[in-house]
Structure 1
Amino acid sequence: MLNSISTPARTLTGQDFKTLSLAALGGALEFYDFIIFVFFAVIIGDLFFPADIPDWLRQFQTFGIFAAGYLARPLGGIIMAHFGDKIGRKRMFTLSIFLMAVPTLLIGLLPTYAAIGIAAPIMLLGLRILQGAAIGGEVPGAWVFVAEHVPAARVGLACGILTVGLTAGILLGSLVATAINTQLPKEEVVVWGWRLAFVLGGVFGIIAMYLRRWLHETPVFAELQARKALAAEMPLKAVLRDHKAAVVVSMLLTWLLSAGIVVVILMTPTYLQKVYALTPPEALQANSLAIVALTLGCIVAGRLIDWLGSGVTFMGGSVLLALTTWNFYSGLQGGTADLLLHYAQAGFCVGIVGAVPYVMVNAFPAAVRFSGLSFSYNVAYAVFGGLTPMLVTLWLAQDVLAPAYYVVSLCGLGFGIGAYLWWRKRGALRLQAEAA
């Protein structure tokens, strides 16, 4: 089922580090654009929906618009992946930046419900859909791009470093939101401060688009092109016909990834404010620390998967994520004195997501790799990542430990996938030994 990345056996070169750095920085700036919405979800809900509806319904609708970005990811991802497998990774890698920067800038300029009524949330929804289409091509494209540039023995580390770039975008969003909420009076944040975060995002997108001019096409794609070995038919058709097992494993891994990122990292600042009455600066400062820990966890997970393999990494990582997540959310019921420590521990263990792309980029052959990864990842994230905020929000109305229950249950899935990958590897090694 798993197909090794076909790159020469060598060490990482200066060019590899340049490619990783530019890809990670560009991904960070684009991911900032996509997630900054969630850090101002409370204010956006107040400004873009009627004031006379229940607070829980307003937040549910706000997270519904946030989820629309995830639901739009499959279409954008499939289209960009198709052309990425046909005409090149780099072109689509650059296009995704442009498609993200413009809607982000426009969100920062949108009139509110008080100004134009129901048209305000409708326009916000439309721009959020465009953002989703862009990120649908960005994330899988970035993983494929770096994996095809580095030697096979360093794919895990490379994907971990790139995932650090993506999570750095979340950190940047958290820091910007923290600065705005700390430096401006609450009234000014509501009037114009939140808009500044989106306008900055548009500028960041333009910078990222410029930076990607210095990237080169991947050696793997260039070789396929030279040998005229590109997919002769629609790549997605070949994926769905010949690589069903790889699609299933990739989708389940994406579900695990969405549980860690969406619940523990993206939703928790709002959760801390609503359930435990923390101020926005307090919640966002804790979140920033957790994201720093997450970036370290991604690098550790990427290195471990190169060393120990994906099965052992996912089994051990899932156990640790379950323990630290439960400790964090249940510990809040006794007070917030240990908030920073417990949140940082949970954030570090969410770093298991740094190992997820390693499995996915190796699950498909090069000719259809972009399409296979993009379809699996984006469809699964649309379903699981998109619906998770609404599901957990509704569950919270019944139990404040809803986030913990959700993440811990997904850790059980992660352990099972790890056991499956370990069993598959042992079987492959046994066959190789018998053939020898």
Structure 2
Amino acid sequence: MNEVPPYVKDLAEQRADARAERDHATADALRDEIEAEGWLVRDTADGFELIPRPPFEVWPTVGSVPETGGRATGRAGEAGEEATRTPKAPDRDVSADSGKIAEAADPARRPERLGDQEAGRVAETQAAPEQQPEGSELVGRSDELGGDAERMVSSQLLWDASLSVSRLDESITPPAEVAEAEAAPPTVTVGLVVDGWPDDLRECVRALVARTEVKILALDLGNMDGAGTVLNELVQEFPRRVEAWHVAETPHWRGGTAGWGESRTKLLRLDTADVHVVMETSTILDGDAITPLVGELKDDVTGAGWRGVNPREGGHEWVDAAPGEVRGLLGHLFAVRREAALAAGGFPADARYYRNADLEFSLTLPGTLVALGKDLPVHQERHRGYHDVDPGYRDRESRRTYDRVLGLLRAP
């Protein structure tokens, strides 16, 4: 194991003093100096620890990751000096496409297209007389008119009439490329919070790559157990499919400060797809389980998941639901319309731990939620987020979140 040089330890202690005095500018400058020496300083409940700087860009906290509309300037293996640690305002990227076909079919709003078509017809007429528009042979070709003004006027009137018929046909029939664009399937991204257990991460990502065509967007919290390093390897192995962000901040459920709700909302805002899929690394696909979920997102359905639950009377207990409409979706695997999730405010900001936070998020979504149940080709390995977390912490944070769930259930 690499031994930390004494002068780096001294810099880290100076930074800890600056943080205690709330001198954030000095603390940030010292952090950068430590990084320049090849080390990362990570804050812990007992103070700090120093780890060797990995071969990828690492941002200090979840909140510092810049929301760049989907392009990861902090992408593993691609970060440059231009990357900034100053967070930008959320890029909500909310737009409506309902008027695209009408706009594309309106000749008055597409003058360049009509001009191109008319110029093409003129060029075709000059290059290939035998392919002139039907009716032009009634008055003869322009080079045969010999300056006859009356015949030239007649020819022009017939030519204009043929063009107007073609333009009328264009205005009624949308161009083929517009119809194809309207019928295009929604784009989909799977969001993963990486909080350790690298073997689980590797199996989860490789199953996604092998059995679907979705993009994968991952947020690594503190390179726990070397999971961030494995994530970087997966980015190199599948550069067109996997995109990664790394932060030094560690997950709250493992003794750090990064909350589940904050991390999930960051992934949601970094995404630009139509559909955002929430998935845990302990969830493994046995087939394409994503397409059926996305297929349910029609009409007023805003979320579709693997496992659904419903509350009993009074709301103090939730039970597994049969396939169909449900009140809550469990965070093992579910798909949501990204714009609807953003409009609802994202994931609960006060949720430091996942348990019950998925229910809280479900209750804030508009529209209908559905679950597909056991027929979906997916299974779960050991649920680390539950079984490998301190039981006292798990119960305390679960109750804390559930108080908010009860409030939502009882709201008018």
Q: Normalising to structure 2: TM-score of the pair?
A: 0.27
Point out the structure with the larger strand share.
2
Point out the structure with the larger helix share.
1
Greater RCO structure (CA 8 Å; 6+ sep): 1
The structure with the largest alpha-carbon Rg is: 2
